[in-house]
Amino acid sequence: MAAVNINQEQFNRLIAGEKPVLVDFWAPWCTYCRRISDAYDRIAQEYADRLEVVKVNIDDNEALAIQEKIEIIPTLVIYRGGKAAASIVAPESKAMIEGFIGDLLPQEEEKESRQVHDMVIVGGGPGGYTAALYAARSGLDTLVIEKLSAGGQMAQTHQIDNYPGFEEGIDGYELAGRMQRQAHRFGAKTVYAEVDRIDLAPDVKRLETSEGIFYGKTVVLAMGASPRPLGVEKEQELTGRGVAYCAACDGMMYKGKTVVVVGGGNSAAADAMILSRIAKKVILVHRRDTLRATKVYHDPLKKAENIEFRWNSVVKEIEHDDRVTGVRLKNVVSGEEETVACDGVFVSVGRKPASQLAQGQLELDESGYIAADETTQTSLPGVYAVGDVRTKALRQVVTAVADGAMAVHMAEEYLAGK
C-alpha cells in the first residue's frame, strides 16, 4: 500500500496516537520529492505493522508546513507522543530512510540471496535500465540494485527535449518510470538498496547491500555522478538553509527572492533560466569572462531582465545567520572583493563520479571516473561501466542509453566464452 496524503486534522489525530508516525512533507512541483516516492512507498509497505507512514502536501497544507518549520522539501519527520522526535532532509536512498528510523525501529537480520544472477546492475538511471531491458529481453537473469528511484539525475529534470522520439519533450521522471516498466516487462527485477561493498575480482561477483548480499556472473556499474560542492566553509551546514544544488527541486522555495547561481556550464545556465521564472533576481557568478555553456543558452540568459552577471568572480565565503544572507565574491582579475546580498545560493559547478565502490579494484581516470572505452569494458573481466560514471566525452541521456546496450552485448560475449 502506498503512503497516503493527509490533511492537518488527520495529522493531529495520528501524531496523538500511540503508534509512531513518519511524515514526508512534499510538493508536486518538487522533482526530488518524486524521486523518493517509490522508496517511501516501500517503507510504508514494509513497516505498516510498526509505523504510520504518511505524506503532507505543503501546497495544500501551508499552515501545517509553517507550524512544523519545514524550510526545504522533501523533509521526513518522525513523531512520537505528539512531538517531532527527529527529521531528515532529502534522503539519498531507501537505506538512508531506514537508517534514520533504525534507532526507533530496529532492523531485521541481514538477508543473503544464494541465487547467482547472470547480470547485476548497480544504479537505475537510463544506462542501468537500458542494460536491464537488453539483458532481460535476451533471457539473462537480471537484477537492478537502485538506492532510491528510477532515473538517477534524469529524474530531476522537468523537461527533456533532446531525447529522440518525444517531439514535445518529456518529463525526466516520467521517462525514468517508462524505462523501468519496460525492463520489468521482460523480467528484470529491482531491489531498492544501497550497495556498501562489491568484490569484483572473482568469476562470481559479490555485492553487500542494505537489503542483503547478492551475487552476479557479470556486473554493470551505473552509479552516475552527483553535484560537486563549492568547498567553502559552512557550505554543508547551510545545505537546506539557503544552499541548494537543484533549481528544479528547490527553486519554488525562493519565489520572489534573490538568488545566486554559481557556475558557467550547461547546468548553471539551465538553473539560472529556471530560477529567472521564479525569483525576483538571479545573479550568475562565473570564474571566467564568458560562459562555458552551449550557445543555445547565451541569448535567453542575456535577454532575461532579472539575470545579472558577475564575471571573473568566485565565491570566497557564504554569509549567514541562521540562513544564507549573502555571498562574499572575489574578482580573480582585479582581486577586489564585494558582498552580494541574497536569500539562496545554487551551486552548479560540475559533478563528481559516484565511483567509490570501484576504488582499489578498477582503473580510474585522473578525475575519478571509471576507465572504460566505448565497449564499456573495465579493467576487470565481466565488469562494465555505463553512463556518467565512466570516462567519456559527452554525458547525456542518449549516450547513457547507448552504453547500456553495449554493456549487455559485451557481457553476452563474455558469458558465452565462459
User: Cα–Cα distance between 244 and 342 in angstroms, integer?
Assistant: 13
- Active site positions, annotated: 246, 249-250
191: Cβ contacts below 8 Å, ≥ 6 apart: 143, 144, 145, 146, 209, 211, 214
User: Cα–Cα distance between 410 and 39 in angstroms, integer?
Assistant: 31
62: Cβ contacts below 8 Å, ≥ 6 apart: none
Locate 361 and state its grid cell. Answer: 579494484
What separation in angstroms does the CA of 350 have from each of 125, 153, 160, 292? 18, 13, 19, 11
What separation in angstroms does the CA of 321 have from each of 61, 164, 234, 377? 28, 47, 11, 49
User: Looking at 286-369, which runs of residues are DSSP E strands?
Assistant: 307-310, 313-320, 324-331, 337-341, 344-347, 351-353
Sign of the C-alpha dihedral computed for residues 132, 2, 154 and 264 taken in this order: negative
* 197: enclosing H helix or E strand: strand 195-199
